[in-house]
Amino acid sequence: MKGLKQSLPSIIVIAVVVGIWWAVVVATQSAIFPTPWAVVAGTLELARDGTLWEHIGASLMRVGAGFGLAVALAIPLGLWMGWVHGAFVTLNPLFQILRPISPIAWIPIAILWFGVGNASPIFLIFIASVFPMIVQTTVGVHTIEKRFLRAAENFGVSRTKLFLKVVFPATLPQIIVGMRIGLGVAWLVVVAAEMIALRSGLGYLIIDSRNAGNRYDLVIAGMIIIGLIGLMLDGFMRLLESMKVVRWRYAH
């Protein structure tokens, strides 16, 4: 009940936007821009013939692969760079140069190296999400409060225990922040990457719908689905933030 009360204003705003959209399309008698109802009808059509699920599945698979690879590399690397000063000063400048390059700029190189199959978008997602996660993890290690490291030193624990019971859990909240950023960027990039080539995915759906007969109802349907799935992915990451072992960092 309280949740409903809180989300009521946002539901109203969305309803108003959809209402204006509908009114404008009707008033201008646009032949090409669809009404909200046309978008819903288009979506149902895609859902019924199954292509919608194929596109969603393809996009999610690519994000899963690229993001998974990025997590597998970024977390160990970030922990290492955070802990070993030499590793940080050696690698950080390179990453700081690579980080601001938009993943879109990598598209020609991705096609050159990996062709137009699945590997290209997976590579692009990897490139897009790996740097923010490396940076956040490194920052996480660097910002471990000294009092905790001192306490560990005081108790004279082994290096393994120091890492497992202090360094990693102390960094975990920042790692999760990095993963949230990384997954957000990954989802942005998969759609962009699928617009270039390939024969599946939500990005492909959008471009293909436009090219194959100006089906703008499907273009907008694709956009809205991308938005909703992005929201869901972020929701999953938020679930990680509510774990008890990391709540200390966010609970203020």
Partner 1 sequence: MPTKIPPRIKIQDIRKSFRNDKVRLQVIEGLDFEVNEGEFVAIVGPSGCGKTTLMNIIAGFLAPDSGAVNVNGVVRNGPNRKGIMITQQGSVFPWLTVKQNLLFGLPDEVPNREALADEYAALVGLKGFENNYPHELSGGMLKRVEIARALVVKPEILYMDEPFSALDALMSLRMQNELLRILSIEKHTVMLITHDVEEAIHLADRILVLSPRPARIQASFDVPFAHPRRVSSPEAQALRVAILKELGVTEAV
Residues that bind partner 1 (CB under 8 A): 147-148, 150-157, 161, 165-166, 169-170, 172, 244-249, 251
- What are the residues whose beta carbons fall under 8 Å from the beta carbon of 180, sequence distance 6 or more? 234, 237, 238, 241
Residue number, 157 or 237, with CB nearest to partner 1: 157
Q: CB of 8: closest distance to partner 1 in angstroms?
A: 31
Residue number, 61 or 157, with CB nearest to partner 1: 157
Stated as kind and residue range, the H or E segment containing 70 is helix 51-83
Residue number, 164 or 228, with CB nearest to partner 1: 164
Residue number, 27 or 245, with CB nearest to partner 1: 245
Q: CB of 155: closest distance to partner 1 in angstroms?
A: 4
Q: CB of 171: closest distance to partner 1 in angstroms?
A: 10
Q: How far apart are CA 9 and CA 23, in angstroms?
A: 21
**Residue ranges in 163-215 assigned as alpha helix (H):** 168-196, 202-211
Q: CB of 246: closest distance to partner 1 in angstroms?
A: 7
Residue number, 85 or 247, with CB nearest to partner 1: 247
Q: CB of 115: closest distance to partner 1 in angstroms?
A: 45
Residue number, 33 or 168, with CB nearest to partner 1: 168
**Helix (DSSP H) and strand (DSSP E) numbers for the chain:** 12, 0
Q: Give buried/exposed letters for 190-207 (b at 16+ CB in 10 A, else e).
A: bbbbbbbbbebbbbbbbb
Q: Please classify residue 125 by burial: count the beta carbons closer than 10 Å to its beta carbon, then call 0-12 exposed, 13-18 middle and 19+ buried.
A: buried
What CA–CA distances, in Å, run from 130 to 38, 42, 68, 206? 39, 36, 10, 26
Q: CB of 173: closest distance to partner 1 in angstroms?
A: 9
